[in-house]
């Protein structure tokens, strides 16, 4: 498990001619007792890895759908410790990488060293902390390295080329390309200029570049993956899980599987 597991899983996917598809769900949405079943369902549908949100009261990067999922999880009493405990016991039931998406406050409160040690024990392979700027990465870099956890950076549309080069050099596992200016959430159309942004990220990144925020249809997936290595889909996946719509969920993931170019 850990950083190397994430890197190998992605390389295997890309070598097979597929693009990477990472669904996002909120841990504890529906209760902590349903977490592993939800992860299994996503793996069965064809996920390359899974991004697992940690419930937090002030999710500044999240749009309405994910905020509501977080509120449902918090209302169920789910917290970081519960998620780590559940994974520690049952992680072996899931055969693909898991990445936490959390904010720095819960990590800091839990104890940074303790958090990364527990992540290793729980089989968490990477972390995304959107409100931790690269300038403060040293707050977590040593314990993350010690416990083999990838620290994934986000690059936005407003990042200048010099900043993109810096972020690409720091990111481990993959580079998260934010494709809209704003919070997460399903949208009807994709930014037409995004291709050039993704190509610029690819120019500098030594790890796969994955596009996220606002991706909600198979056409979006196919469009995005023309210029990058894969996609992350959150709000639409949460909606489909709520609806019990496995067919459409699998259709989203299949769009990535059929978008790859044999290399």
Confidence of residue 183 (pLDDT cuts 50, 70, 90): very low
At 187 the pLDDT is 45
DSSP state of 17: T
**pLDDT one-digit tens code per residue, 20-44:** 999 999 999 999 999 999 999 999 9
Identify the residue whose tokens are 């449902």: 72
| Closest C-alpha to 173, from 146, 149, 142 | 149
Q: Can you tell me the mean pLDDT for 87-96?
A: 98
Give the DSSP H or E segment for 26: strand 20-26
d(CA 90, CA 83) in angstroms, rounded, equals: 11
pLDDT exceeding 90 applies to what percent of the chain?
A: 83
223 a catalytic residue: no
Query: Could you count the other beta carbons within 10 Å of the beta carbon of residue 126?
Result: 27
Confidence of residue 49 (pLDDT cuts 50, 70, 90): very high
Under 8 Å between Cβ of 154 and 181: no
d(CA 231, CA 62) in angstroms, rounded, equals: 17
At 192 the pLDDT is 61
At 61 the pLDDT is 65
Confidence of residue 58 (pLDDT cuts 50, 70, 90): confident
At 193 the pLDDT is 75
Catalytic residue among 7, 13, 29, 62: 62
d(CA 235, CA 216) in angstroms, rounded, equals: 8
Confidence of residue 141 (pLDDT cuts 50, 70, 90): very high
User: Three-state SS for 101?
Assistant: strand
At 62 the pLDDT is 74
d(CA 147, CA 215) in angstroms, rounded, equals: 32
Q: What is the CATH number of domain 3-257?
A: 3.20.20.70
62 a catalytic residue: yes
At 263 the pLDDT is 34
pTM for the model = 0.92
Provide the angle, in degrees to the nearest 10, between the axes of the packed helices 35-45 and 235-243.
110
Catalytic residue among 13, 29, 51, 229: 51
Confidence of residue 257 (pLDDT cuts 50, 70, 90): confident
């Amino acid at each position: 498990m850990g950083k190397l597991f994430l890197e190998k899983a992605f390389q295997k996917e890309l070598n097979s001619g597929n693009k990477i598809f990472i669904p996002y769900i909120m841990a504890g949405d529906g209760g902590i007792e349903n977490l592993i079943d939800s992860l299994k369902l996503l793996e069965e549908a064809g996920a390359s890895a899974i991004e697992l949100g940690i419930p937090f009261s002030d999710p500044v990067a999240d749009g309405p759908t994910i905020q509501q999922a977080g509120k449902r999880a918090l209302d169920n009493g789910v917290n970081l410790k519960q998620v780590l405990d559940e994974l520690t016991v049952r992680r072996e039931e899931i055969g693909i990488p898991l990445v936490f998406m959390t904010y720095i406050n819960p990590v800091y409160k839990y104890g940074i060293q303790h958090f990364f040690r527990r992540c290793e024990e729980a089989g968490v392979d990477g972390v995304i902390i959107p409100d931790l700027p690269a300038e403060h990465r040293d707050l977590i870099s040593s314990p993350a390295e010690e416990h083999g956890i990838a620290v994934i950076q986000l690059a936005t549309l407003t990042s200048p080329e010099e900043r993109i080069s810096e972020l690409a050099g720091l990111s481990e596992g993959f580079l998260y390309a934010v494709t809209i200016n704003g919070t997460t959430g399903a949208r009807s159309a994709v930014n037409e200029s995004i291709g050039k942004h993704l190509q610029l990220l690819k120019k500098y990144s030594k790890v796969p570049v994955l596009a996220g925020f606002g991706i909600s249809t198979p056409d979006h997936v196919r469009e995005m993956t023309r210029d990058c290595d894969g996609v992350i889909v959150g709000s639409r996946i949460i909606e489909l899980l709520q609806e019990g719509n496995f067919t459409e969920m699998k259709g989203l993931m299949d769009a990535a599987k059929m978008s790859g170019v044999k290399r």
